[in-house]
Structure 1
Amino acid sequence: MTVGAAGTDRRLRRARVVTLGSLATSLWTSLLLPGIGLAREPDPVRLACGAAGVLAFAVTQTAVLHVAVTPWLSPRRRRRSVAAFVVVAVLSVPLVGPVAAGTWPTWAWLGASLIGMTPLLLRPVAALAAAASTVALALAVAAWTGGAVGPTLVVTVLVGGGTALVNRVQVWFWDLLVEARQGQAAQARLAAAEERLRFARDVHDLLGHDLTVIALKAELAARLAPVDADRAGREAAEVQRLAGSALHRVRAAVHGYRTVDLADQLAAMAEVLRSCGVRCEVVPPPGELPAGVAAELAAVLREAGTNVLRHSRAGWCRIEITREGDVATMTVRNDGVGDDAGPDRHSHGLRGLTERLSAAGGALRTRRAGGVFTVEATVPVAP
């Protein structure tokens, strides 16, 4: 599970904190209840060794919980955290096992916590094998220290199994969330890649024939130059005309690419938002808008849609285009914007749009109120 930009996603960070807090509740089995055994241990040497073992176990367990819900950490750091936890778990047997021998199953509580961690470290079959080995080890510690078998089984099997189940469910939900965010990012990248391919195909179709003819004409002019200068000059002039025509067609294609049909862009943006779980309502313009106006509004639409996905926890979005006289207005409103979230008027995208619309005689305004962010763009419509 890898998410390159997960650390910058507000929603993912908050969900991670909640998941980590829920997982951390299992620490009570490795701190509080073994602490009862420490309180009952009269031997100061055993007490010191036991306290060191319990503390080291809790620290390394916390590190493993952290890497379990932090997918952007390096694999090397993950391996080091897991290896440290395994080493400490093994060392805890001689350190904590003799603590409160015969009166309290001190190490059995560490064993229960260890069983609870197995779903985070191993696949299901390996986790079951590790859990069974831990139960057997707890029984061996009880036999070594003169402890009771019944309480040891209850602690390791019931408490450990319950902790493992809760931890597994928590991490499963976290993995689903991470995969959903990965899917959204992949969908956005795929849409951009498809649009680039479409434009590349258009350019290829436009230029393929023209460049072939230009190459043939240029070759003919080169062959005619030594024997028929007049005809070679005419062919060279034809090459020049064809090159100018091809350049004009490319510029027209780029202009058309930048002014993709506004209705198509509205439909595409609505589909992307809905696929990401945002209810989207679109109110199209009452009539056809000039190509230049549609190009400016399409740029605003792309930036506003990006902001909805990146800077909010939107549940709904409304896109409306109106025309009053010689002014066309696009309004994009979405919820899920807190005081510390959402783009502001100083963001690079909005600032660039403000400058672009200003050059076209329009204006861009943004406002935030009651958790709703509004982008309003106005563009003059030439008579």
Structure 2
Amino acid sequence: MAALTHPPGAVSVSVPPARRTIRSVVAIVGALSLVELLHVLSLDPGITRSAFLIADTAVLAVAQVCYFSNPSARRGFPFGHLALALQAVLVALPVLAVGHTWIGVPGLLAGSVLLVLPRAAGWSAFTAVVAAATWARFAAEHDVSDAATCAVATAMTGLVTHGMPWLAAVAVKVSATRGDLARAAVAEERVRVSRDLHDLLGYGLSAIKLKSELTHRLLPEHPDRARESLAEIVDITHRTLVDVRSVALGYRLLSVEEAFRSADAVLRSAGIDVAMELHTDPIPEPAATVLATVLREGVTNVLRHSEAGRCEITLCRKEDAVELRIVNDGMRDTPQDHHTGSGVRNMTERVLEIGGSFSSHRDDDVFRLLASVPLAPRD
């Protein structure tokens, strides 16, 4: 069982992946716009030209952050194509109106065409945008190295702005998968606790009920035996409490030998003739705990669902497995046979989990249970 990673009562707060990606996009677009504006102002273009370029850059940045880089935006036809057309106009307008050529800002348009257009058309348009920005820069500056810088900046900006929404989508899927895994782990833990409590409390409470009834019968004429029975009730209650606490810890081991001794005592207290055969060497885990659990649940079913006069329990080794067989008579006719109840279902699940086999059936008033558990767990 996994350990807690936060103190009791603490709440783990995390930022949604999509929101983190939007923040990253804002930082990238903001930094790019700031660099471009600082470059423009360093050329002393005049108040009117500066105001025009600042407004144009601001609109481009807002459109990129709020629409193109937004994972939840509708980029299909016609919205995406209209937005692309507007962005293309905003990128081209400074070149046509005031003769200003960008360094990296056309990369926003290059990334957007990859987000909106189909794959083949998108990469063709991406190449065209990078080529157009490079040509415009070279035509204005007549400097090969400056044009090459513009090409690299445009291409890198385009790839980054294209990749961020994709990373956001991947992050959202990963986060959703983690949530599903966490919910599955919680559900699995609930099933484990429910199954363990059923097995432990079912056996313990059945034994306590049986001993209490016996004590009640013995008390008038055999007070000494009644006191012994009460002491056994206290002992059973203590063991049951220890077992229940072990469920909370998520780890418990049961002894086959102890389970046999307890089953023998409980069945004999119910006036059932018991025949037990234990022919096996010490059993390793997890086979030992599974067999002990099956034995306890099997005995619980004998007490709950039958008026048994005899019960035979055999444990023997068969090659690389250990077989547990429980046979009892006195089965009562009930609306639901106990071989279809939750107890048998729990036993079946436990045995199958480690690669064993389980079967149970009824012949008239005789009930037979057989569990075969491998000594080494099978994958």
TM interval, short-chain normalised: 0.3 to 0.5
Larger Rg: 2
Q: TM-score, normalised by structure 2?
A: 0.41
Q: TM-score, normalised by structure 1?
A: 0.41
Q: Between Structure 1 and Structure 2, which shows a larger proportion of helix residues?
A: 1
